Structure 1
Amino acid sequence: MTRVCLLGKEDVDLRIDIYSYETARRALATYDVSEPWTNTLQLRTNSLGNAVTLLNDLNWYLARLTRDAIIREPSVSTTEWLSRPLARQIRDGDLDPDEPVNRLKVYGVDDDRLVDPTFVLRGDAQEGTYERADYDESVVVRVTKGEFFA
């Protein structure tokens, strides 16, 4: 199953605010939504295509309420997430899912919150863990070249 995780902006209570919109509430009603980290929402879809489509459908709300939307597709990686633009490129066939990606956005986990996103280059472009020394846990997100250099 493909996982989607929405990261709320600092001034937003994501669960309350996104469900206050009827259209967003209806779009999310068919999913079992959890909160893996503070001010995040996670749900499962049956494919990368469905995950990207759901995020497209929620785009208006995401632009106002979230600071990031990430996707974990097990056929691409079981340990790393994909940025929304990278997931879209894979879904559209513009990027081979087996092509190594060495541009990463790494979040530290502090007090059950995703914090301090840092862009890093992975030297060998192979899947693996990237640890942030100042945090006990890290969340690694593969990003596009455009996101990395923006």
Structure 2
Amino acid sequence: MTRVCLIGTADCNLQYELLSRETSREALSTYDLERPFENSIALQTVSVGAAISLLNDLNWYLTRFVDEALVQEPSVSDDEWLSRPLATELRNGAVESAETAEFCKIYGLERVGPEPDGTEQSSAASDGGTPAGAATASAESAETSDPDADGESDSSPADGTESSDTVGFVGSQWRLVEPLYVRRTDGELPEYDLRDVEETLVVRLTEAEHAP
């Protein structure tokens, strides 16, 4: 199964923006949705092709509310993600799986939610926990309204805070911070050194994304 993860922009509540609009809500309604990171939505599709088709269907919303659209394909890597442009090239046969690994960016993962014992922690995890334990929630319908002709919703919170109209996702314990752009050499990636974090997330990029 191919996984898709959408990371919202800092000034919006991604769950609200996508699930309060009829078109995007219907596009997501057949999937079990997760929130592996702060202000994110993740789901599983049957293939890279299906993942890219879904992203294309959601493109209007992605350009407005999404900072990163990531794809994880097990035939490429079980723990590294592909950027949307690289996943599109893979789907189109423009690049082979073995050719996707050279250009990457590494995000630090910072714990922002409660520890299992209920204590709050705002920096890197110290107990070895990972984002893989994020809870799953289905895309139940919330109180919604259709977008206006210009695509704007008249009741959307703009500050990224939770809304009472947002579907009841369990809050993620992890936030993506400061990407480090790197190049894999002899099969090895440099270590993430922008801040002290215990966990990292690797995203494979096209060469153009690596050196815009």
Q: TM over 0.5, yes or no?
A: yes
- Distance in 2 of aligned mates of 1:64 and 1:50: 22
- Gaps in structure 2 of 5+ consecutive residues: 112-173
Report how many residues are paired: 148
How far 1:101 moved relative to its partner?
Answer: 2.1
Question: How has the CA–CA distance of structure 1 residues 130 and 33 changed in structure 2, closer, same or farther, with 3 Å as cutoff?
Answer: farther
Structure with the greater alpha carbon radius of gyration: 2
- Gaps in structure 1 of 5+ consecutive residues: none
Q: How big is each residue's C-alpha offset from its partner over 1:15-68, in whole Å with a ceiling of 9 and x where there is no partner?
A: 111111110000000000010011011000010100011001101000000100
1:51 aligns with 2:111: no
Q: Aligned Cα RMSD in Å?
A: 1.3
- Distance in 2 of aligned mates of 1:54 and 1:137: 29
- Distance in 2 of aligned mates of 1:45 and 1:100: 20
- Distance in 1 of aligned mates of 2:7 and 2:180: 15
The match for 1:117 is 179
Q: When the two structures are superposed, what TM-score results if normalisation uses the length of structure 1?
A: 0.94
Is the contact made by 1:106 and 1:139 (CA closer than 8 Å) also made in structure 2? Answer: yes
Question: How has the CA–CA distance of structure 1 residues 20 and 130 changed in structure 2, closer, same or farther, with 3 Å as cutoff?
Answer: farther
Whichever residue aligns with residue 52 of structure 1, its letter is: I
- Distance in 2 of aligned mates of 1:19 and 1:120: 35
Q: How big is each residue's C-alpha offset from its partner over 1:46-96, in whole Å with a ceiling of 9 and x where there is no partner?
A: 101000110011010000001000000000111100000000001000001
User: Relative CO higher for 1 or 2, CA cutoff 8 Å, sep ≥ 6?
Assistant: 2
- Distance in 2 of aligned mates of 1:25 and 1:129: 38
Q: When the two structures are superposed, what TM-score results if normalisation uses the length of structure 2?
A: 0.67
Is the contact made by 1:131 and 1:137 (CA closer than 8 Å) also made in structure 2? Answer: no
The match for 2:37 is 37
More helix by share: 1
- Distance in 1 of aligned mates of 2:65 and 2:100: 31
Whichever residue aligns with residue 2 of structure 2, its letter is: T
The match for 2:198 is 136
Whichever residue aligns with residue 211 of structure 2, its letter is: F
Q: Once superposed, which parts of structure 1, at least 4 consecutive aligned residues long, lie more than 3 Å away?
A: 128-131
Percent identity of the aligned residues? Answer: 47
More strand by share: 1
- Distance in 1 of aligned mates of 2:206 and 2:53: 19
